[in-house]
Structure 1
Amino acid sequence: MVDLLLAVVHHLLAFGIAAAITAQLVLVRPGMQPPAVQLAAKYDIALGIMSASLVVIGFSRVFFGAKGSAFYIHNHVFWTKVVLFAIIGLLSIKPTRAFLRWRKAQAADAAFAPGEEEIRSIRKTLMTEIHIFALLPIAAAAMARGYGYA
């Protein structure tokens, strides 16, 4: 039962992360208006909470799940997933910093809207994140079928 619960929460968090990145992509676009800045920043907070929770739940699955830690620790596909997720986390620093700057600028000037060049740059980073994120379910499916186990 614990294994099932951890798996369900893990999958729901993954879907939530994909949704949050997608929502940011919808909001962060040329012509972005001030209300979108606040909303994108809120999605960023949710993304951070879900990402941290996914790591905790994911490693809980490693140590308390039905397959046992030996299955994961010696599986190169598992470590590929971990590295991909870490890369996404590192990439997410740039948008997070931008959202914090934008919110601060908006606190000083309610009409503030980010510049088009910065918007394009943040969108490019978000697109990179979502494309890398798309590799995670592929790796998960392979791992569930025994690929990568040494």
Structure 2
Amino acid sequence: MAFIITKYAHFLGILLLFSSCLLEYQRLKPILTRAEVKRLARVDIVFGLSALLVLMSGLAMALWLAKPLDYYLNNWIFHFKYSLFIVIGLISAYPTVFFIRNRRGNDADTLDLPRGMKTVITLELTGILCLPLLGILMAAGFGAIR
């Protein structure tokens, strides 16, 4: 039963991760009011918490609940998937720092969207879309290092 609950939490986390990232993307525009930045900061909190849920539930499955740990450690797709997840987390720092630094002040103030912000979030979305496919391939036995 623990495996089912953990796997379900993992799926919900991935859905939340993608939805919050997509919402950030949709709400971005060249000039934002501080009120909009505050809302984006709240969405970014959901993004971060859902990433934590994906990470913790994924680790729980790999370490205790799913296949033996050697199955994952000897699979190049697992290493690629985990590395991609880390890269997504690292590049997500760019929007997060912008939202945190600019959320305080008068709600009517306007701010220019930093150059490349939309590109960063597009890269995040693309990476997030690849994660489930990599998980399916890995679970089906692809990527085993012999």
TM over 0.5: yes
Structure 1 residue runs of 5 or longer lacking an equivalent are: none
The answer to whether the 8 A contact 2:3-2:66 is kept is yes
The answer to which structure has the higher strand fraction is 2
Where does residue 132 of structure 1 map in the other structure?
127
The answer to whether the 8 A contact 2:34-2:103 is kept is no
CA RMSD of aligned residues (A): 1.4
1:122-147 CA deviation, whole Å, 9 max, x = no partner? 11111111111111111111111100
The answer to which structure has the higher helix fraction is 1
Where does residue 115 of structure 1 map in the other structure?
112
Which amino acid letter does the alignment assign opposite residue 10 of structure 1?
A: H
Where does residue 19 of structure 1 map in the other structure?
19
The answer to whether the 8 A contact 1:37-1:113 is kept is no
- Does 2:78 correspond to 1:78? yes
Aligned-pair CA distance for 1:91: 0.3
1:12-35 CA deviation, whole Å, 9 max, x = no partner? 100100001001011112343443
Q: Secondary structure at the match of 1:37?
A: helix
Distance in 2 between residues matched to 1:133 and 1:53, nearest whole Å: 14
Which amino acid letter does the alignment assign opposite residue 61 of structure 1?
A: M
Pairs aligned (count): 145
The answer to whether the 8 A contact 2:92-2:124 is kept is yes
TM-score, normalization by structure 1: 0.89
The answer to whether the 8 A contact 2:35-2:107 is kept is no
Alignment partner of 2:143 out of 140, 145, 148: 148
Which amino acid letter does the alignment assign opposite residue 136 of structure 1?
A: L
Which amino acid letter does the alignment assign opposite residue 122 of structure 1?
A: M
Where does residue 29 of structure 2 map in the other structure?
29
Where does residue 92 of structure 1 map in the other structure?
92
Distance in 1 between residues matched to 2:78 and 2:44, nearest whole Å: 26
1:54-112 CA deviation, whole Å, 9 max, x = no partner? 111111001112312121111111111100000000100100011012203xx2x3212
Pair 110,33 (structure 1): closer, same or farther in 2 beyond 3 Å: closer
